[in-house]
Amino acid sequence: MHIFVTAERSKNLMFLFSTIIILVSFSFAQTIAPEVYQNLEYRYIGPPGNRTSAVVSIPGDPLTYYVGGSSGGVWRTEDGGRNWEPLFDDQQAQSIGALAIAPSDPHVIWAGTGEAFIRSNVSIGNGVYKSTDGGKTWKHMGLEKTGRIGRVAIDPRDPDIVFVAAVGHGYGPQKERGVFRTTDGGKTWKHVLFVDENTGCFEIAMNMDNPRILFAGMWPVVIRTWGRESGGPNGGVWRSTDGGSTWERLEKGLPKPPLGKVGLAIAPTNPDVVYA
């Protein structure tokens, strides 16, 4: 049985990232007493000149982080934020919506372009990119018309199985919204979840114990000259139990439509607990 806890998700990614970096830098070699946190002061550590839209790290390595900027590409630090190296300057798209590292191979990194936190000053992307050498080089892997990518989810056992949450460019109806899946490392893609031309996918959550179970947060959104329209009858949470081949809409315990942007998280200690 899956338990849902509904909550409004509004995160300041830069604040969160700064907090994580500082905490892990202090706790690298020892356990920190609780009173230390009371005196902890937050500080800006970079990377310079951009709003952070995505952050990922390598499990077991508290000093290495990859950061995606809303219009500044991908950056990496290997010393807890003291120094930053740009990794994406040679690519056509610089707006990053999502980053993901393959759990089975930390050298495999995916970048979804086009920031999904829609506001007045955001750029669209041109699909997804893949690195197999820890970010040194990148290859464009398609999905050029997806516009904005909110999440990339990689199978923990097979790095060739990847799911992409496509919000769409948002400026009008389009078919390139929803969930896309590749089973061959990005050579080919299948559009496995499509609701309608005005509803994209903002979030994908994968059960890491059983990666055939996935949840998708669908977001009806349209950007118009006079403003943005968020929410609609097809917004909400969808679930797949067969690796994304088929999906069902979940309604019990969730608010009734119209629904807007949906974020998702699966409790790492109990995958039956899902937050939306």
The full set of domains in the chain, from first to last, is 3-10+83-275 (2.130.10.10)
User: Which distant-in-sequence residues (6+ apart) come within 8 Å of 225 by Cβ?
Assistant: none
Buried/exposed 66-87: b ≥16 CB within 10 Å, e otherwise: bbbbbbbbbbbbeebbeebeeb
Confidence (pLDDT) at 30: 56
- 101 near 111, Cβ under 8 Å? no
Confidence (pLDDT) at 146: 98
Q: Per residue of the chain (276 residues), what is the pLDDT tens digit? A: 444 444 443 344 344 444 444 444 444 445 778 777 788 888 888 897 778 999 999 999 999 999 999 999 999 999 999 999 999 999 999 999 999 999 999 999 999 999 999 877 778 999 999 999 999 999 999 999 999 999 999 999 999 999 999 999 999 999 999 999 999 999 999 999 999 999 999 999 999 999 999 999 999 999 988 888 999 999 999 999 999 999 999 999 999 999 999 999 999 999 999 999
Confidence (pLDDT) at 23: 42
Confidence (pLDDT) at 63: 96
C-alpha span between 155 and 15 (Å, rounded): 28
Confidence (pLDDT) at 42: 84
- 15 near 52, Cβ under 8 Å? no
Confidence (pLDDT) at 170: 94
Alpha-carbon separation of residue 80 from 26, 28, 47 (angstroms): 10, 10, 12
Confidence (pLDDT) at 48: 78
- 135 near 111, Cβ under 8 Å? no
Lookup result for tokens 């740009």: 86
C-alpha span between 252 and 272 (Å, rounded): 15
Alpha-carbon separation of residue 263 from 5, 103, 168, 232, 275 (angstroms): 11, 21, 16, 16, 8
